[in-house]
Structure 1
Amino acid sequence: MKYNFSDRISALQPSAIREILKMSSDPQVISFAAGNPAPEAFPTQAIADISKQVLEQNPIGALQYSLTEGYPALRESMKDFAFNHYGIGKSFDELVIVSGAQQGIELTCKVLCNEKDTIICEDPSFIGSLNSFRSYNTNLVGVEMEDDGINVEALEEAIKHNPNTKFIYVIPNFQNPTGKTMSYFKRKRVYELAKQHHIMILEDNPYGDLRFEGDDLPSIKSMDTEGLVIYVGSFSKVLSPGMRVGYLIAHQDLVSKIVVAKQCADVHSNILAQIICEKFVTNYDIEGHLTRLKEVYKHKCELMLSEMDKHFSECVAYTRPQGGLFIWCTLPEHVDMVAFCKKAVSEYKVAVVPGSAFLVTEGTKTQSFRINFSTPTDEQIVKGIELLGKLTKELC
């Protein structure tokens, strides 16, 4: 049987990260390729206790169909959390629970974009979002990243040259894959440009609660007076990615359409997982939990950076993030980055992600690769960075 796939899907390729993770299943391979929370970061006992309580006291409510908009108590808790932590929540805003931030991103594209409409993205950017956008046959335009976030001059030019732009997609805090954070000036400027040209902003913030150095910066959504910003948050990095619980905050008129689109996609997000998240936020020390997460990731990041300082060739440049899960490394021009990544996993048994996986325009050349410090153990970080350092000195 020959299958004829839809135009939307036929050109999509498997995630390079997922393909590398297959090789990482080799027990001899030390993986810096994932983006998973640290195993020690999961509040497993609290989740077990809450699950037991819910299934004993309200089993039908946790197992029955529920509202597409989300578990009401969780929606109210997350409205309070977003307002208290990020200054988000104008009178025109509404919140919907989604099946992970990924669904919020995909539904935004589904609701706003027709084929060939333009989405402007940071370049590089999160592969999951890029593939969602590609699946709707949109025109992706990448804007280069600088040390303090997106190049706003290039962004303005991209907007002028693409009058059919529907929204700008940004990850302001500890961006995936670069680990960079957008400055306050650039957050204001991105919003000003969107307002000036009457286009939307999709602000993705999965890592904002994981700042372990420096001062918090205002969210772009907190600056929103026009209903231009769609904000997506998630429990994946602070509680459990397997629960698939996230939330989207936007103008109520937009949320009403997203709710209709979500009804077509999955009716509603996992209600048991929603109840567990709500109980954890309201009945447990969420602030203490976040503080513990920051301590875990600060330690892991500092350990990895110190080992890189010790073992990496001086010809390799890398970011020094103040939060999140990732470090972005750049090789000199004469080194073949893809060959470097392949040799790292096949000969040195260390898996990293080639930077080409995150580029807006597929096939564009890059010298960078991404490594993750949250998933490996301390011992794996020390050993893996020493091995990767030998390879950098061999090739540089």
Structure 2
Amino acid sequence: MEYQFSDRVKALKPSAIREILKNSSAPGIIPLSAGNPAPDAFPYEAIRKVSAQLLEDTPIEALQYGVTEGYAPLREHLLGYMKKKHQVGTENDDILITSGAQQVMDLLTKTLLNEGDTVLCEAPSFIGSLNTFRSYRAKLVGIPMEEDGMDMACLEKALETEKNVKYLYTIPNFQNPSGITMSFEKRKKVYELCQKHGVMILEDNPYGDLRFAGEDVPSIKSLDTEGIVMYAGSFSKVVSPGMRVGYAIGPRAVLQKMVVCKQGEDVHSNMWAQIVCHRFMTGFDYEAHLQNLRDIYSRKSAVLLSAMEEHFRPLITWSHFEGGLFAWCTLPEGTDMLGFVKRAMERKACVVPGTAFLTDETEPCRSFRINFSTPTDEQLREGVKILGETAKAM
């Protein structure tokens, strides 16, 4: 049979990272490409204890249908926690529990965009979100990144000249893939510009709790007095990505439409996982758990930085990062980045080519992304050594 695919999906390509991950799981491969939490970051003993108690005391609560908006105690606790700790949420906001933060991107896009409408996003940006926007046939316009976030002049020009801009997508903390954190001055400017042009902001913050250096920067959502920011949070990097629990905090009117869209997608998010997240946050020392994660990634990043200092200089440079899971590295002028990635892969060191994160994958790019949370310390040292030797050989 000859299959006729819809216009919306026939031009879509598989996620470059997902395809690379297939190779990175092969025996002997050094997995510098993944974005998975470190194996010792999972609170599996607490999850085991909570799950056993839940299935013994109130199993039907975990196994029965729930409401689309999410498990009520988790929603209530998150609203209070995010307001108290991060000044996120106003009286006009509400919260929706989603199947991972990725679903926030999908639901907001489905809610706001018509085919051909424009989404502004950082360049580079997270490929998972870019592919979601592409699946709705959005026009993607990339805003170049500087060391402290987006280029404000380019953002202002895009807001003034692009047609039907529905929202700006940003990862302001330890951005994936660049590791860059947007300065507070730029966050205020982003909010001011988007408010002026009547454009929503989708603030994606999966890594915000993983700061291991420097000072916290207030979220864009904490500045929101006009209901133009949708905040996407997640338990994937702080509890478990496999549980698929994320959340959106934003204007009630927009969330109500997202709820309707979610009803048609998956009815509601996993009830067991929602309850476990709630009980873990309220029944254990959650702040101590977050500090433990920061300690883990601080140490892992130090291993990476030491290896890069030894093997990368002076050929390969990297962006400054103070948290998160990634380092964004750039090859010398004239280097064939894709050829470099291929040759490194042949030597068993797997990284993600920078082109995977561009709104236009045909644009020139000399950068690649390293993940330091997944590999062991020895794998980090050996992988970086291979990358350095490959660059010198080229």
Same fold (TM over 0.5): yes
Q: Which residue in the other structure is 1:388 paired with?
A: 387
Q: Which residue in the other structure is 1:163 paired with?
A: 163
Deviation at 1:388, TM superposition (A): 1.5
SS in structure 1 opposite 2:142? strand
Structure 2: distance between partners of 1:362 and 1:370: 15
SS in structure 1 opposite 2:242? helix
Cα deviations by residue, 1:143-164 (Å, 9 ceiling, x for unpaired):
1000000001100001111131
Q: Which residue in the other structure is 1:267 paired with?
A: 267
Contact 2:117–2:163 under 8 Å retained in 1 = no
1:376 equivalent in alignment to 2:352 = no
Q: Which residue in the other structure is 1:321 paired with?
A: 321
Deviation at 1:362, TM superposition (A): 2.5
Give the TM-score, by structure 2 length: 0.99
Q: Which residue in the other structure is 2:240 paired with?
A: 240
Structure 2: distance between partners of 1:165 and 1:245: 29
Q: Once superposed, which parts of structure 1, at least 4 consecutive aligned residues long, lie more than 3 Å away?
A: none
Structure 2: distance between partners of 1:27 and 1:370: 21
Contact 1:313–1:392 under 8 Å retained in 2 = no
1:231 equivalent in alignment to 2:227 = no
Contact 2:47–2:276 under 8 Å retained in 1 = yes
2:268 aligned partner, one-letter code: H
Cα deviations by residue, 1:57-79 (Å, 9 ceiling, x for unpaired):
11111000001000000001111
Deviation at 1:84, TM superposition (A): 2.1
RMSD: 0.7
User: Which blocks of at least 5 consecutive residues in structure 2 are unaligned?
Assistant: none
Structure 2: distance between partners of 1:168 and 1:20: 28
Contact 1:220–1:229 under 8 Å retained in 2 = yes
Structure 2: distance between partners of 1:340 and 1:78: 44
After TM superposition, the structure 1 = structure 2 runs for residues 303-318 of structure 1, keeping only pairs within 5 Å, are 303-318=303-318
Structure 2: distance between partners of 1:384 and 1:117: 42
Cα deviations by residue, 1:145-186 (Å, 9 ceiling, x for unpaired):
000000011000011111310000000000000000000000
Q: Which residue in the other structure is 1:17 paired with?
A: 17
Q: Which residue in the other structure is 2:352 paired with?
A: 353
Deviation at 1:316, TM superposition (A): 1.1
Cα deviations by residue, 1:311-356 (Å, 9 ceiling, x for unpaired):
114021102310000000001121100000011011x210000000
Identity, % of aligned pairs? 56
Deviation at 1:22, TM superposition (A): 1.3
SS in structure 1 opposite 2:141? strand
Contact 1:93–1:252 under 8 Å retained in 2 = yes
Structure 2: distance between partners of 1:385 and 1:140: 33
1:181 aligned partner, one-letter code: T
Structure 2: distance between partners of 1:379 and 1:303: 9
Deviation at 1:379, TM superposition (A): 1.3
Structure 1: distance between partners of 2:296 and 2:320: 16
Structure 1: distance between partners of 2:386 and 2:205: 33
Structure 2: distance between partners of 1:181 and 1:312: 23
Contact 1:177–1:326 under 8 Å retained in 2 = yes
Structure 2: distance between partners of 1:292 and 1:158: 41
Q: Which residue in the other structure is 2:154 paired with?
A: 154
SS in structure 1 opposite 2:68? coil
Structure 2: distance between partners of 1:28 and 1:157: 48
SS in structure 1 opposite 2:290? helix
Contact 1:178–1:326 under 8 Å retained in 2 = yes
SS in structure 1 opposite 2:289? helix
Contact 1:313–1:393 under 8 Å retained in 2 = no
